[in-house]
């Protein structure tokens, strides 16, 4: 089966690697986003998908706007590909492109459609506190993730999952689903199914969504931190502070946390009584848990800060951060701290 692969970030790499490895498929070319300038030297950095394609000796095309690039459109047409496979490419395909391959254009989307159509399905499902997500392969149409569905693979969302860990699992699921999707379309054993009603949307993340509002509940803040990793931020002593890993504490959460949190659960009643005695608004540090890190009062429940990045420094475990700054109960996080 002759394929053209469209993809850009690390999320798409396992899918491309799987198609390269499968003897039934020939990846004729890879279409990926143009190289971007990153880092202090502003060097042009190729996408992860481009790096894999070049290592495998596959031609790489990088149009700025694929729908408007005559050379790329001519190249795509000339491939006479059986299918285009699209995983996190970052641009929409035109009706002309969708009609080119014999079997159509197949997309691996990072949600259980019709939920979270759009650019940020992984972040949005974490932000919403969902307990289940997955990958759906679908035949693409001109809409935003509105095409008929083909195969689906699910994965539970654990309370300490974040956008990075969840993306790794979903990327592996996408890679597993693509070969049977393509084979099923080719032999007619797989029939596309229209998406049910009840669609929700996953718009791109905006920078203003990174700021932590401590008046929200511990669970809402935790969901924000893990969805926005590594960008969720607050302030302490007038300096910026990024939050990488947190954990909401309380009876509602013990069953969802790893066994290592059992020691905290056993002490919970005493700890809670101590923390309630510390005055201060949401954002107040009410205690420093030995070996764990600072605990912060929120609008509802308490939040453990497990890993942080002080301004200009490397990531630190919560306990090391507290020791390094000699944090004391009663100090407060927030934009006005």
Q: What is the mean pLDDT of residues 60-72?
A: 95
CB-based contact 319:304 (threshold 8 Å): no
Whether 113 and 149 have beta carbons less than 8 Å apart is answered as yes
Residue 10 has pLDDT above 90, yes or no: yes
Cα→Cα distances 259→96, 302, 332, Å: 54, 19, 30
The percentage of the chain sitting over the pLDDT mark of 70, rounded to a whole number, equals 99
Please state the rounded mean pLDDT for residues 228-242.
Answer: 96
Mean pLDDT of the chain: 95
Q: What is the pLDDT of residues 35-47, one digit of tens each?
A: 987 766 678 899 9
Predicted TM-score (pTM) of this structure: 0.94
pLDDT digits (tens, 9 = 90+) for 97-128: 999 999 999 999 999 999 999 999 999 999 99
- Distance from chain centroid for Cα 85: 20
Per-residue model confidence as pLDDT tens digits over 145-157: 999 999 999 999 9
The answer to whether the beta carbons of residues 72 and 66 sit under 8 Å apart is: yes
| Position 309 pLDDT exceeds 80 | yes
Return d(Cα 205, Cα 10) in angstroms, integer.
18
To the nearest 10 degrees (0 to 180), the angle between helices 48-55 and 13-21 is 20
Residue 106 contacts residue 185 (beta carbons within 8 Å)? yes
Closest to 242 measured CA to CA, from 333, 121, 126, 127: 333
Question: What does the pLDDT average to over 20-26?
Answer: 97
Q: What pLDDT shows up at residue 39? A: 65
């Amino acid at each position: 089966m002759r394929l053209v692969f469209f993809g850009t970030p690390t999320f798409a790499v396992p899918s491309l690697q799987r198609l390269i490895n499968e003897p039934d498929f020939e990846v004729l070319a890879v279409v990926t986003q143009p190289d971007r300038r990153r880092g202090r030297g502003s060097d042009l950095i190729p996408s992860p998908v481009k790096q894999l394609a070049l290592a495998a000796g596959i031609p790489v095309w990088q149009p700025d706007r694929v729908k408007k690039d005559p050379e790329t459109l001519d190249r795509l047409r000339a491939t006479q590909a059986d299918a285009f496979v699209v995983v996190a490419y970052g641009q929409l395909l035109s009706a002309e492109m969708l009609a080119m391959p014999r079997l159509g254009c197949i997309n691996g989307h990072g949600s259980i459609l019709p939920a979270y159509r759009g650019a940020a399905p992984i972040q949005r499902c974490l932000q919403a506190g969902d307990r289940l997500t997955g990958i759906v392969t679908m035949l693409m149409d001109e809409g935003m993730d509105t095409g008929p569905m083909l195969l689906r693979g699910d994965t539970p969302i654990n309370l300490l999952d974040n956008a990075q860990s969840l993306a790794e699992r979903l990327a592996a699921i996408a890679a597993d689903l693509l070969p049977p999707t393509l084979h099923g379309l080719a032999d007619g054993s797989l029939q596309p199914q229209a998406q049910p009603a009840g669609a929700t949307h996953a718009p791109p993340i905006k920078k203003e969504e990174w700021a932590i509002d401590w008046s929200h509940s511990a669970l809402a803040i935790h969901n924000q931190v893990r969805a926005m990793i590594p960008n969720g931020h607050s302030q302490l002593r007038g300096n910026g502070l990024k939050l990488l890993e947190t954990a909401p504490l309380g009876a509602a959460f013990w069953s969802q946390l790893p066994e290592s949190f059992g020691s905290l659960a056993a002490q919970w009643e005493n700890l809670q009584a101590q923390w309630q005695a510390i005055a201060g608004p949401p954002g107040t540090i009410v205690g420093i848990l030995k070996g764990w890190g600072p605990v912060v009062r929120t609008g509802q429940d308490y939040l453990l800060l497990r890993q942080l990045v002080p301004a200009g420094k490397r990531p630190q475990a919560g306990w090391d951060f507290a020791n390094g700054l000699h944090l004391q109960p009663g100090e407060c996080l927030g934009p006005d701290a």
